[in-house]
Structure 1
Amino acid sequence: MAEIIVPELAESITEGTIAQWLKKPGDTVEKGEFIVELETDKVNVEVISEEAGVVQEHLAAEGDTVQVGQVIAIVGAGSGAPAAAPVAPVEAAAPVAVAVAEDASASDRTIASPAARKMAREKGIDLAAVSPVDPMGRVRVQDVEAHGTAPKAQSAVAPAAPVAAQEDGRVTREKMTRRRQTIAKRLLEVKQSTAMLTTFNEIDMTNVMALRSRKKDQFFEQNDVRLGFMSFFTKAVVAALKKYPYVNAEIDGDEIILKNFFDIGVAISTDGGLVVPNVVDADRKNFAEIEGTIVELAKKARDNKLTMADMTGGSFTITNGGVFGSLMSTPIMNGTQVGILGMHTIQRRPVAIGDNIEIRPMMYVALSYDHRVIDGKDSVGFLKMVKDLIENPEDLLLGS
């Protein structure tokens, strides 16, 4: 008999969500075979069975939040009939799982911190009846404490409106995935904890498009990867970060940490939401290595195969809304970084070239930055340097 236990996920991650059971009760499983997929704040993790046998039972369902060290399934010998004996160790090792079994109600589906759940259990409070202060709906300890002193009548009346709306079919409730919850939480934190501003410029893409057109076939033959615009922008960003080091920094208390490395995050859209893996040491990579790394990261992202190493430690981020047709936007910074570059769709527009008007392929670019660290002079200078390098791509090739 073997227990399937939620493994250590990462230093800062203590819980996850069961995204999908890969083996159901009654299914046979080999030693080392994947049995369940967990969704964490950053990546999906597949958990293996340490023993061969038959899945006896699941102790948590898809969509449940589980803690590191929690027993979530039992694997044993036999035909797969659920066994009663393993319940005792589960009660000792995983009190959260017992609470779920005892009360499979709306409170189990409520987004809440572990400490808030513990306090609610101790006080006998239904989490579904607690009104959170967090605009994203996550219940915290202070919400449970406030609920304990609130008039009972108010908590009883509060759920009536959404229930009525659901009954007449006018709305559909959909639980946010763990990744979507994390994205929402972190974007809100960035907006609330930084002095974010955005500056804009536009880039004439004529020269870089012409260079790419001339070199793309030869590039593919030599490197087995296509030459895109991201390698040009990554190289331009690295060069600009070297000249304007405060754009490659972060705040830690009353100190500014200037980063002497260039791990460039690349925003990638997946069905589960936006993820930002990093092109590590982008300053040491040539165009082909950058393009190959981005292709590899995009595939891993869409296959839910990104690792924690792929997702942590970035110093600056590039996001390309242009692939969806965005003409202009104000990107939100990523985590503790103080800058993010937004690329947009290429649109042919009339522009003044000397005394003449010409139709040129133009792209708006945006730099969102934390004004606590970066002054207007540096932000404008940084974006202007990116513009100049993209408009003169031979300079990038010579400098790479």
Structure 2
Amino acid sequence: MIEIKVPELAESITEGTVASWLKQPGDHVEKGEAIVELETDKVNIEVPADESGTLDEQLAGEGDTVQVGQVIARLSSGSGGGTAVATKTKTETATEAATAPAETKVETVGEAKKVERREEHVASPGKGPIATPAARKLAREKGIDLTAVQTNDPIGRINVHDVTNHESKPAPTQAPQTPKAPAAAPQPAASGKDEERIKMTRRRQTIASRLVEVQQTAAMLTTFNEIDMSAVMALRKRRQEKFVKDNDVKLGFMSFFTKAAVAALKRMPYLNAEIQGNEIVLKKYYDIGIAVSAPDGLVVPVVREADRKNFGEIEKDILHLADKARNNKLGLSDLTGGTFTITNGGVFGSLLSTPILNGPQVAILGMHSIQLRPIAIDAETMENRPMMYVALSYDHRIVDGREAVTFLKHIKDMIEDPEQLLFEA
């Protein structure tokens, strides 16, 4: 019997959630083939089989929380076929479980052998229903008696989905039994209108908790400016065709802002830092995080050593990381170690916003949509110019207003005169 365990995920990650089973009991699995997809705080990870075999058991359901090192599946060695355990449909198994007494089950094997199911899958008298740790925790929080929860699991195990479904069912008409424990906090009364309750993914929960943590621990402040995008737009128009020919990628605005941010960070080093206890750690390298909207929420993959890369290399990195993000292919190495972040709400039409810090970083630059606005050129002349509002949120504990405003002014000057970027070391 081959055990499939939750692998080491990362130094700071000790658990994950079963996102989906890629193989079902009875399926043959080749060595190195993915069996299950786990969702962690940052990325999704596929767990492969160390050896070839047939999947016999799934020991965790989709949505269950699992720990590093925990056994979540078992394979029988061999290539499958006649020696594999005969599988049954969920409906057949559930029907047999409902009519048969609670005793050790026996399944027929291809060569007239018999295999006993493990005792852990059958509830013993007096021990109560079988449930995953996550399901028990949710039931305690909701004040739900697990003996009243129904499940379609072939072995009668109750998971989180069963508890959630039970909670959404109307209360039984018979007289309620005397509670054995103090009543849980009352749930909000149903509105009578069409509603849907969706469990937050692990990543969304992590995003929520970290954003709240940043707002509670950092002295966050935001300063604003506006940039005339005329020069950059004209440069892109002149150079786009040759740039695409040389680099096989389009010249976007993000590479200009990345290069400008690196130059400004070199002049204002406290914005490229973090706080560790009573110390300020100034970073002498420039790994710039680029916020990307992914299916499961915002992620911030990192462009490494942005100060050493040209416009083409930066644009390629951004395109590659964005594709990985949208396809849930980002690895932990793609997301860790950033020193400064740029987010572009303008791609969604945002005119102005106050970005939240990406802790433990102490500053984040927000770009916005470009709009034609009348601008005073001099005392007598007005022109319509493509203007962009930019915002810099920063941690006032180590970044003073003078530094923040000056940093944003450097960004403005370099974007309005992009030739300056050619002379930045």
TM-score band by shorter chain is 0.7 to 0.9
> Any conservation in 2 of the 1:165–1:171 contact (CA below 8 Å)?
no
> Any conservation in 1 of the 2:292–2:300 contact (CA below 8 Å)?
yes
Instruction: Read off the aligned partner of 1:380 and give its amino acid letter.
Output: V
**CA distance, structure 2, for counterparts of residue 312 and residue 127 of structure 1:** 33
**CA distance, structure 1, for counterparts of residue 41 and residue 358 of structure 2:** 14
- The share of aligned pairs that are identical, in percent, is 62
Q: 1:109 to 1:352 in 2, by over 3 A?
A: farther
Provide the residue aligned with 1:365 in structure 2.
390
**SS of equivalent residue, structure 1 residue 374:** coil
Q: 1:290 to 1:153 in 2, by over 3 A?
A: same
Does residue 158 (structure 1) correspond to residue 218 (structure 2)? The answer is no
> Any conservation in 2 of the 1:203–1:363 contact (CA below 8 Å)?
yes
| Equivalent of 1:262 in 286, 309, 325 | 286
Provide the residue aligned with 2:234 in structure 1.
210
**What's the CA shift for 1:4?**
0.9
> Any conservation in 1 of the 2:289–2:301 contact (CA below 8 Å)?
yes
Does residue 15 (structure 1) correspond to residue 15 (structure 2)? The answer is yes
**What's the CA shift for 1:57?**
1.6
Provide the residue aligned with 1:149 in structure 2.
none
Does residue 199 (structure 1) correspond to residue 204 (structure 2)? The answer is no
Provide the residue aligned with 2:413 in structure 1.
388
Provide the residue aligned with 2:275 in structure 1.
251
What are the superposed Cα offsets for residues 191-213 of structure 1, whole Å, 9 maximum, x if unpaired?
00000000000000000000001
**CA distance, structure 1, for counterparts of residue 129 and residue 303 of structure 2:** 44
What are the superposed Cα offsets for residues 346-399 of structure 1, whole Å, 9 maximum, x if unpaired?
011111111211100000000000000100000000000000000001111343
**What's the CA shift for 1:286?**
0.5
Structure 1 unmatched runs, 5+ = 92-98, 111-124, 131-151
What are the superposed Cα offsets for residues 298-321 of structure 1, whole Å, 9 maximum, x if unpaired?
111111111111111100000000
Does residue 79 (structure 1) correspond to residue 84 (structure 2)? The answer is yes
**What's the CA shift for 1:158?**
2.1
Provide the residue aligned with 1:102 in structure 2.
130
**What's the CA shift for 1:80?**
4.0
Q: 1:387 to 1:31 in 2, by over 3 A?
A: same
Provide the residue aligned with 1:25 in structure 2.
25
Provide the residue aligned with 1:46 in structure 2.
46
Structure 2 unmatched runs, 5+ = 78-82, 88-106, 108-114, 145-178
What are the superposed Cα offsets for residues 59-79 of structure 1, whole Å, 9 maximum, x if unpaired?
111111100001111111533
**CA distance, structure 2, for counterparts of residue 26 and residue 359 of structure 1:** 68
**What's the CA shift for 1:51?**
1.5
Equivalenced residues, count: 355
What are the superposed Cα offsets for residues 74-133 of structure 1, whole Å, 9 maximum, x if unpaired?
111533447876847999xxxxxxx997235984473xxxxxxxxxxxxxx923349xxx
| Equivalent of 1:316 in 340, 343, 346 | 340
Provide the residue aligned with 2:94 in structure 1.
none
**CA distance, structure 2, for counterparts of residue 372 and residue 276 of structure 1:** 23
Instruction: Read off the aligned partner of 2:23 and give its amino acid letter.
Output: K
Q: 1:5 to 1:153 in 2, by over 3 A?
A: closer
After superposition, the CA RMSD in angstroms is 2.5
**CA distance, structure 2, for counterparts of residue 185 and residue 260 of structure 1:** 29
> Any conservation in 1 of the 2:222–2:393 contact (CA below 8 Å)?
yes
Instruction: Read off the aligned partner of 2:419 and give its amino acid letter.
Output: E
